[in-house]
Structure 1
Amino acid sequence: MATTRGLERLVFFTDAITAIAITLLILPLVEVVPDIAAEGGSIGVLFDGYFGQILGFLISFAVIARLWFAHHQLFEHVGAYSGRLVFLTVLWAFTIVLLPLPTALTAQLNPSPGLVAFYIGTMAASSLVLTAMSVLIRRTPDIQAADNPITPRSFAASYWVSAGFVLALILGTAIPALNYWALFVLFVTPTIGALIRRRRERG
């Protein structure tokens, strides 16, 4: 039988995994500090020689933080849990745990369609799982909090974020010169979604 305590443990589980994953992102940069110091380098060497690694860390940090916040907001609408919700939560946690790996690879290897697909694809998978959870919660009254249901606007926002990641994945792999910069499409898709929603509301 599902209990409030069980739901709290599920949330704590994902919070802990996210905290660990987001911490792991910085470790490769920490590990190069002794080498820079041994060679008599300065902080300038870190920024000049490891700029790509620093950029990858910042992007992945921002993405994981955004995905965690979306998960946090989603569970504000959860009053109970089910086996399907637990499965999707564990699947989402897997994508978060996995992300530091492609992040490390992007810092060490030149961009390639396969690597871009691995990196952005992991992010897209995480966002798609969140959208799947939104669908499950909306369609399951026993799970959704009766006093705080998911609004159509919140659901649409989740959909458009996932669509943005998928579009970035397609563009980044189909256009090699674009590679990771395709992620900037995420700044555009929510605006497009909002404009479409407003037109529908007016119509």
Structure 2
Amino acid sequence: MIERGREIERTIYFSDAVIAIAITLLALELRLPQDLASGEIVRHLVGLLPRLYAFLISFWVIAAYWMAHHRIFNCIRAYDGGLLRINFLFLMWIVLMPFSSSLIGGYGDLQLPFVVYAVHLMLATFTLSWLGLHAARNPHLMEPGVDPRSFRRQYSHRMLAMIAVFALAIAASFFSTTVAEFTLILLFVARPGLLGRRASRGVT
């Protein structure tokens, strides 16, 4: 069943709310023990650096996902059951982000928590790209003037670019988790994947 009009706005507003809550929950990991002596504050602040790193990476990754989600729905005028299910799957990965982020914040020197985090991001990236590809394969869901082939090609390239960064980070984790964590910065330095240009009408 195809739904149009204001019903699509409910999906957008709900998604925005879920993403906003998830991105806010990331900050709950950033706290100091109570009743610290003045001489202990600096030591505990230094101890928070791994959690701060996890917060910064996760915050900006979720922000990138939100921007891409916004751009996808800017090109969609209707939805079907498949689109809604894929969108809920994507939101499930977003809701789990504070959990996986806490893994690398608390156990950043271990490989398994990092691999879980990187695989989590790969799944979220794949699902968000799947959302865009589902819409592109069903032109009746798209706004007039959107070229489905360009739209589909763009999100295929973006998915592959981001998954390549995550795969590289996982490979690096077999040698050093520190190197693996900093490999994720490539997401922002090289601007691949979801950090690329706007998914606008007819733009490749």
Question: Which TM-score tier does this pair reach, normalised by the shorter chain?
Answer: 0.7 to 0.9
Q: 1:172 to 1:161 in 2, by over 3 A?
A: same
Deviation of residue 147 (structure 1)?
A: 2.9
Give the structure 2 partner of residue 168 of structure 1: 168
Give me the TM-score of the superposition, normalised by structure 1.
0.80
Deviations 1:64-87 (A, max 9, x none): 101111111111111100111101
Give me the TM-score of the superposition, normalised by structure 2.
0.80
Corresponding pairs, count: 189
Query: Is there any run of 5+ residues in structure 1 with no aligned partner, and where?
Result: 195-203
Give the structure 2 partner of residue 159 of structure 1: 159
Contact 1:80–1:143 (8 Å) recurs in 2: yes
Deviations 1:47-94 (A, max 9, x none): 322111111111110111011111111111111001111011000001
Contact 2:26–2:59 (8 Å) recurs in 1: yes
How well do the aligned residues superpose, as a CA RMSD in angstroms? Answer: 2.6
* Percentage of pairs with the same residue: 27
Amino acid of the structure 1 residue aligned with 2:26: L
Give the structure 1 partner of residue 180 of structure 2: 179
Deviation of residue 143 (structure 1)?
A: 0.9
**Counterpart selection for 2:119 from 118, 121, 131:** 121
Contact 2:165–2:183 (8 Å) recurs in 1: no
Is the counterpart of residue 53 in structure 1 residue 51 in structure 2? yes
Amino acid of the structure 1 residue aligned with 2:146: N
**Which 4+ stretches in 1 moved above 6 angstroms?**
none
Cα distance in 1 between the residues matched to 2:76 and 2:5: 10
Q: Report which of the two has the higher share of helix.
A: 1
Cα distance in 1 between the residues matched to 2:60 and 2:124: 14
Give the structure 2 partner of residue 4 of structure 1: 5
Query: Is there any run of 5+ residues in structure 2 with no aligned partner, and where?
Result: 197-204
Amino acid of the structure 2 residue aligned with 1:190: P
